[in-house]
Amino acid sequence: MSTIAAISSPIGAGGIGIVRVSGENALKIADAIFSFAHKTQADGERNTRQTWQPLFMNFGTFCAEDFKDVGYAVYFPAKNAYTGEDTVEFYLHGGVRIMKGALDTLLKNGAVMAKNGEFTKRAFLNGRLSLADAEGVIDMINAESAAGLRAAYRLMEGDVAKRINFILDKLEVLIATIEATLDYPDEMEDEVLPNIESNINEILGKVEDLLAGAKNGKIAKYGLTVALAGNPNAGKSSLMNALLKENRAIVTPVAGTTRDTVEDSFEYDGVKITLVDTAGIRESDDLVESEGIERAKRAIDTADVVLHVIDMTADEKDDIDFDGKLVFEVYNKCDLLCGDTARKEQARGGERTKFFVSAKTGEGVEDIAKAIAALFKEDKVQGGELITSNRHVSALYEAKRALESAFASKDSTLDLLLVDLSDAYNALGEITGKTATEDVVDSIFSRFCVGK
């Protein structure tokens, strides 16, 4: 493969910028453009020379075509490199012009421009990481919460791939045994057939264990969406501002101030929580307000949790039907009506949790954030793996269906059983990359930035 180069740090002015070159000629190119500040002289030699010691940070001068810069260069031999091939990284001053000039110099000395995610793609192709590990890398970069980072780290470190490979190994043995039975029925059948049912059942159980972590995995990666709903002037916008701890939504005494959904996010206890403030739900002849009410209903339908905000000072209570959604009843404006005992009261019943709060003073508001974050029970899945990728979930369901079909046909002909088991193997192999098509691989790495 060609020797590739790219800027690996964000574009813009900064203290340090990183340019990376990887491939067969990486060291040759680096040696031509980077001069060590301290060179060595062997016994008997008249001239000094620079020796690239692996994994050593060398201080020196980067010689671009029209400027020079002082910085550091590190040589990673193939066995130690992220990509699995010789790599050199340059750490220079992080100016836009410096980075562009350094990259141009690498390209003029024989490197070619790297494509999106090509460094990580080469790591995959060279066996340094699995396809699932690579997806963990992009998830680490894009994570927006501590829970998302922890899940991405486990994926990047190969924990999911190890679980999948363990299942694949068991499937390989089972498939090979059945193939041997078909080829040598007299020698193998009596020994193999009694184990098929238990083996399929065990493998199916492990696939179902991984799928069980998909719901929490989705929360870890994307967070929870929470819609604030209720009558006009119930204090939804004030509650949103109190949860965010900033004035994000407009608040006035006029009922119907919020005409459209307003969205913002915050992190609590490691979990990303996205709040969607909605228009007050009521009958209205105003076309603009009516459209806002329809949008409010759509936001409620797609939310993970609904905060039903109720004005405790109002004479009339709303009768909004949330159609089976997970609802937290939030009784607001307790500072105007309730005593200390009522303000601090919390009662739980079925799927509904009641909170007595004051969005104005902030009392009781943190209890709501705590209850929302508690919906992500990561403590229950620390021993297993969170499945955060929709691609992985789809592959696991495909494998589950194939295994269920195999289990149902365990007493039928072995060649039909072999088809189902092979389908399960191919589905699971797409997660690690063992059976992934070139289009799938290209699609995954196209999501990366250039330089990673």
Residue-wise pLDDT for 390-414, tens only, equals 999 999 999 999 999 998 887 777 8
Residue written as token pair 């492990």:
206
**pLDDT tens column, 174-204:** 888 888 877 776 665 555 555 788 889 999 9
Tokens of 429: 């192999």
3 state SS for the chain: CCCEEEECCCCCCEEEEEEEEECCCHHHHHHHHEEECCCECCCCCCCCECCCCCCCEEEEEEECCCCEEEEEEEEECHHHCCCCCCEEEEEEEECHHHHHHHHHHHHHCCCEECCECHHHHHHHHCCCCCHHHHHHHHHHHHCCCHHHHHHHHHHHCCHHHHHHHHHHHHHHHHHHHHHHHHHCHHHHHHHHHHHHHHHHHHHHHHHHHHHHCHHHHHHHHHCEEEEEEECCCCCHHHHHHHHHCCCCCCCCCCCCCCCCCEEEEEEECCEEEEEEECCCCCCCCCHHHHHHHHHHHHHHHHCCEEEEEEECCCCCCCCCCCCCCCEEEEEECHHHCCCHHHHHCEEEECCEEEEECCCCCCCCHHHHHHHHHCCCCHHHCCCCCCCCCHHHHHHHHHHHHHHHHHHHCCCCCHHHHHHHHHHHHHHHHHHHCCCCCHHHHHHHHCCCCECC
Q: Which residues contact 144 (CB under 8 A, 6 or more apart)?
A: 223, 265, 267, 272
pLDDT along the chain (452 residues), means of 10: 93 92 96 87 57 94 95 96 97 95 96 95 94 92 89 90 94 87 65 71 93 87 91 87 80 53 89 88 65 81 90 76 86 71 42 78 90 75 71 95 89 84 95 91 88 86
Q: Measuring CA to CA, how many Å separate 374 from each of 13, 167, 272, 342?
A: 40, 32, 12, 23
pLDDT reported for residue 251: 55
How much is the pLDDT for 224?
A: 92
d(CA 6, CA 112): 9
Query: In the block, which residue shows the tokens 């098929």?
Result: 196
* Cα–Cα distance, 364 to 351 (Å, whole number): 19
Asked if residue 275 lies in contact with residue 226, where contact means CB atoms within 8 angstroms, the answer is yes
Q: What pLDDT sits at residue 325?
A: 86
Q: Which amino acid is at 244?
A: L
Q: Quick one: pLDDT at residue 91?
A: 98
Strands of 14-22's sheet in order across: 34-36, 57-63, 68-76, 87-94, 14-22, 4-7, 112-113
Token pair of 257 as six digits: 């101030």
pTM: 0.78
Q: How high is the pLDDT of residue 378?
A: 56
The predicted pLDDT at position 284 comes to 63
pLDDT of res. 288 = 67
